[in-house]
Every structure is written in C-alpha cells, then in structure tokens.
A and B are shown apart, each in its own frame.
Chain A
Amino acid sequence: MIAPAHPLLSVERLSVAFGGLQAVSNVSLEVPSGAIISLIGPNGAGKTTLFNCVTGFVAASSGRVCWEGTPVGGLRPERAASLGMARTFQNLRLFGSMTCAQNVRIGTHRLENEGLLGAVLGGLAWRGRRERMERIVLEAMAFVGLEGEADRPATSLPYGLQRRLEIARALASAPRLLLLDEPAAGMNPSEKRDLAGLVRRIRDRGVTVLLIEHDMPVVMDLSERIYVLDHGELICEGAPAAVRSDPRVVEAYLGKA
C-alpha cells in the first residue's frame, strides 16, 4: 500500500494566545490517516485549546492548520465540519430538548442539502432521503451500543451513555477525523475498557481518531503515537513506550524530584 502523501491533519507551529496568556505555543503535530493519535498533558496544558483551534472555535494567533496538506485559514466550526471533522466535548454538549435519536439526527445535517424549497415541496425523493438518514442514525446508535434508546430524552441517559451518544452524533456526520475530548472522564474501569474497544472499532471503520485523555492505561493501550503538552508547549512526542519512560513527561506529571 502506498502511504498518502499528506497526513490527514497537520498542525504547524500553532500558537493561541488569550490576551497575555499563551495557551498554546508553537505546537506542531501530524495525524496520519487511519491512526489513533493522543494528546496528553496535565490540566491546563492547552490540550482543549488546541482542539478548539483545530475545529475553528478559537482563532490561532500564529501558525496554521493543514487538511490533507492544504492550509485551511480562518477556520470556523461549520467549515471544519464540512471538511469532515467531528468532535465531542469535554463537558457534554447534547441537545437538551431532544431525544437520543433526534440528537444523532442533527449529526446528519451536513449529509443533506435540503433547502427551503426542498422542505416546502417535499415529495418522494424527500421521503427516500429521510429514510436513508434515519437508517444512518439507527446504525450510529447501534454502533456505540445505544440501540433501543432512540426515543429516550437524551439527558435522561446515565453519564457514560451520554458520552457514547455524543460519539454517535459525531459519527452520524460521517467524519473522516473524530476528535474526542476526554471521552473516558468519569467512567469506571470496565466502562473505560469498553470505550477503548469502541475507539478501536471506530478506527477500524476508517475514521481517524485524535484523542485527548487523562487516563494513562487507555492512552497507552490505544495510541499509535502520543503528543505531550505542558504549559502550552510540546514537551515530548513518540510511541507509547518511549513517552512513558521520557523523564520530561514524568516530571510534568509528577513534578521534579
């Protein structure tokens, strides 16, 4: 197999500043297609800010983000979604007034192009497309293990399942890159194992995964490559085994001896 010429996503010397605070400084990373890449680091290291920048929620102060080798400037969230990025949020952001299935249905928004005229005129094509979309919704829910919960109010799910629902919503948009922000937070060990299995199955479906996670066993188990951030700077990158034994990483997490 010939390796693609460009990584799916690459971040080049990216910096994000909020006023005087340098949240991310001069970070470069590459996410090759079909990989599971992790971003770790202590609290406040700038991981989520980097995520927000890649998905267009905050603007970079310098550096750039490239999608398949092409720089995407002035990125906005809806543009990131149309490129094929989907994300979950550290603090769940489900649509509170909707059922589980309705939440996932919003994920299919970008797959449709129905405008005002289509909505008003309707017709047979419309019915066929609706059925196709609803099949995608059910399939995504079954994939994360939420079959049978379609009509349940989303916020009535237990916390762990709400995280899975958010993943299902992201998957329903048929993304090429899935960005997961601390998906294992607040889960017990067996839920974490299930989640790791789910992430692996997502990758096996051909969706590239970029993961922020605190839980070391999960990260070490899943990742092909790990990037370590501390105080907004990249302090280490490499394969799990190398990162684990790197003295700078140990120092960042445990403090200097």
Chain B
Amino acid sequence: MTARNAAIRAAGWGGATGLLALPMGGMAVALWTACSAASWCVLASVLGAVPSPKRMLASAVPEHWRLTGSRIVGSRRAGTFAWFAAAIGACVLPALLGRAETNLAADVLLYIILALGLNVTVGEAGLFDLGYVAFYAVGAYAYAILSREGDAIVAWLGCASPSAEGMLTALRAQGIGFWAALPVAGLVAAAVAALVGLPVLRLRGDYLAIAMLGFQQIVQRFLENEGALTGGPSGIDAPRPAFGSFTFRTRSDHYYLRLAVVAILILLLRRILSSRIGRAWRAIRDDELAARSMGIDVRRARMLAFMIGAFCAGVAGVLFAAKQNRITPSSFGWQESIIVLSMVILGGRRSLAGVILGAALLTVLPEALREVLRGALREGFEDYRMLIYGALLVCMMALRPQGLAGRREACG
C-alpha cells in the first residue's frame, strides 16, 4: 500500500467522521470526535498526497535504510506529522469543550491507555484476554494501598520483621506518592501478569479467555472480601496527585495528566513495535514454527506481550483512582474487559491509530447519542440510545470486520 493510498483512506475516515459530526448541531461532543479522529487524518492526506517528498527521501537515504521500502520511509514521515497534529489538537481541546465534555474527553484518554495495552496482548501476540480489567484493578488498588494504608499492609501481612516494619512506617508517613506510584503500580500489575501468565499462557484461544475471565473474578472477589487491605465493597480512598504545590483537581487537570501519559505510551509502543520484539510478534503471527526455527522464544515473546498489556492497564488504574478519589470493586467488572476488547477489535487490531479511534468512538458514542436523540421522535427517545449503540456496533463489525483502521496482514 502506498503512502498516497493510506492518505486517501485516512482522509476518507477523517471526512466521514466529520460528516457524522456535523448534523449533531456543532455540539462540543461532535467537535471532540471530529478533532480526535480527523486532525491526524487530514494532515496525513495533505502530506501523503504530495509524491515528491517521498521520492526525495527515498533517494536521500542510504541504500541499507531502504530495506523496509521507500513506502515506509514516506508514509512514516507523514504518519509522524499526523501524530504531531493530533497531539496539538488534543492539547487545545479542553479550551473548546465544556465541563461535561472535558470529563468525557478525559474518559476517552483513559480508555485509550487501556485499549493500547490490550492491543499488545490481543492484537500483537494473539492472546485472547477476557480478564484484562483485573490488571486495571491491581493498578488502581496498588496506588490506593501504597499511598494511604501502610498500617493496613502491616496488619494484613501480620509481619513482625523489623526491617519490613521500618520500611512500611516510612511508607505510612509519606505514602509512595503519585509519580512513583504511576510506574510502580504498572510494574505491580505486570508482575501479577507474570505470575498468572506462567500457568495460564500455556492455554490458547478460547481456553485462555475463560481462564482469564476466572482470574478477573478472583481479583474482584478478593477486593470485595479482603476488607482489611482493600476496604471491601465500600472501597478505598485514593489521594489526588500533586506536583509541588499544584494539586490536580479539575477535569482539565486530569485530562492533561492523562494526555501526557497517552503521549509517552504511544512513543514507547511505537518503539517497541518497530524493535526486535515487535518483529518477533509479527513473525510468530505469520508462522509460529518458522519463527521458532529462527530462534524466537515464543513463550517468552507472548509473556512479554501479556506483561506489557498489564503494565498499561496498571498505569490506567492509577490514573482512574487519582481522579475518582474513591475506588470500589464494582468499577472492575468483566463488562469493562469486554468494552476495552470491543474498542481494540472495532478500531482495528495492530493499528495504534485504529485502537485510539475505537476507544474514542465507543466512549463518546453513548453520550453523543443521548444528545442527538433527545426529543428526536418523541419525549424520552434518548432512553433507546443503548439499543441504537448496540445496533451501530453490529453494523460496523459487519461492514468492516478488520476494524475501522485495521490492517489485513499483507504487505504491499
């Protein structure tokens, strides 16, 4: 596929999203949809439609750089600019939105983090994970517990060891703090994934899905019943993040905090996907036996994808807890896993832009439908919005089974 084709397709989607948004009466919600989806598409189309830079680049780079093709050189440059444009669009967005819409936009960003992580597990490594939300819960609770409940940890562990006691006393006095908790909770989630993965990743396909569903249930029951540590069904408090004397309070504060995490995550994921690890995932998808004969350790590559996914979920959990202030086990039901999975599948597996689009669409659509349908045919018609939402999902999957921006795995 040439850069021009990609650009035309991208422009098509940008245009379509914009058209969809227009009849909504210039609402801020529609604006958000259009901005998030179209800004990167439009720029890609502008850059991709001009053939000369691509050719110039192709002749300027040394021979061995052109291994992966001038095609990639061209479209990757256009892609970088598109990401850049999307970043600018996302930065100015809260200025254009009202309070409720900013809140929704912050939710979108949270789901983007979750979906980006699950895309690694499901899309890259082909691990059908239906218990993904368990890692989200682990991250959220890790933040809450490490921030506040040093006493509770001591009591729960029943540990009398002086060194652990001393460590936890320091923790109790200070709390781990939000900025340390962000990566630490991600690592805790990844460590939990490693422990679960050892037995569970021996399973494939539907068997793995059921096992992970079971794991999610275990985690949720644990959170409900281990009250001494987790606060039980009524939940646990999580502190607001602060930076020096600045505390993240408003919706747009949290929006920008999440936006920064999304940006870092996208940069990291793009690096990983174009590295030896990403190549190994792709080789395994294409032909597992051939990949193994080339020295790729399949079990290790899968485990890594599983842990990277869990890490993202753990980070998302911290951001969720930091905004909610109080988290309860009921936020981490299996339905959440299904929603995130839908975002990945509907947006398009293995395409970062597609996954982002899927997360934005599935989060915004129910709210947008409420506005659009209000008083549309008769009073209270917006109550039917979830019905229409479901019908839209069915239609989208029927029309584009590979997802909105999905790639069928073929080169050229």
Bound form: Cα–Cα A54–B289 in Å: 15
Closest to B285 in A: A97
The verdict on A204 contacting chain B, using a C-beta distance below 8 Å, is no
Given A95-B286, A96-B410, A153-B412, also A101-B67 (CB < 8 A): yes
Q: Mark out the residues of chain B between 274 and 301 whose CB falls within 8 Å of any chain A CB in the assembled complex.
A: 275-280, 282-283, 285-287, 289-298
Q: Is the CB of B276 within 8 A of A134?
A: no
Instruction: Determine how close the nearest CB of chain B comes to the CB of A118; give it in whole angstroms.
Output: 7
Bound form: Cα–Cα A87–B286 in Å: 17
The verdict on B92 contacting chain A, using a C-beta distance below 8 Å, is no
The verdict on B268 contacting chain A, using a C-beta distance below 8 Å, is yes
The verdict on A26 contacting chain B, using a C-beta distance below 8 Å, is no
- A99: which B residues are within 8 A, CB to CB? 68-69, 411-412
- B69: which A residues are within 8 A, CB to CB? 99, 150-151
Bound form: Cα–Cα A114–B289 in Å: 22
Given A93-B287, A114-B275, A137-B67, also A153-B293 (CB < 8 A): no
Q: Is the CB of A93 within 8 A of B289?
A: yes
Contact of B68 among A101, A118, A152 (CB under 8 A): A101
- A173: which B residues are within 8 A, CB to CB? 294-295
Q: Mark out the residues of chain A between 13 and 42 whose CB falls within 8 Å of any chain B CB in the assembled complex.
A: none
Give how many A residues have a beta carbon under 8 Å from the other chain's beta carbons: 46
Closest to B286 in A: A95
Q: Mark A92-128, 1 if CB is under 8 A from B, else 0.
A: 0111111101100111011010111011101000000
Given A87-B293, A110-B295, A153-B410, also A97-B67 (CB < 8 A): no
Instruction: Determine how close the nearest CB of chain B comes to the CB of A9; give it in whole angstroms.
Output: 16
Q: Is the CB of B296 within 8 A of A78?
A: yes
Instruction: Determine how close the nearest CB of chain A comes to the CB of B5; give it in whole angstroms.
Output: 15
16 contacts between A and B (CB under 8 A): A57-B289, A81-B293, A81-B294, A86-B293, A89-B289, A89-B290, A93-B287, A94-B287, A106-B294, A109-B295, A109-B296, A114-B275, A116-B277, A135-B64, A154-B411, A173-B294
Residues of A whose CB lies within 8 Å of any CB of B are 55, 57, 76-78, 80-82, 86-87, 89, 93-99, 101-102, 105-107, 109-110, 112, 114-116, 118-120, 122, 131, 134-135, 137-138, 150-154, 156, 169, 173
- Further pairs besides A86-B293, A119-B271: 12, Cβ < 8 Å: A57-B293, A77-B289, A81-B295, A86-B294, A95-B290, A99-B68, A101-B67, A114-B275, A119-B275, A134-B65, A152-B412, A169-B294
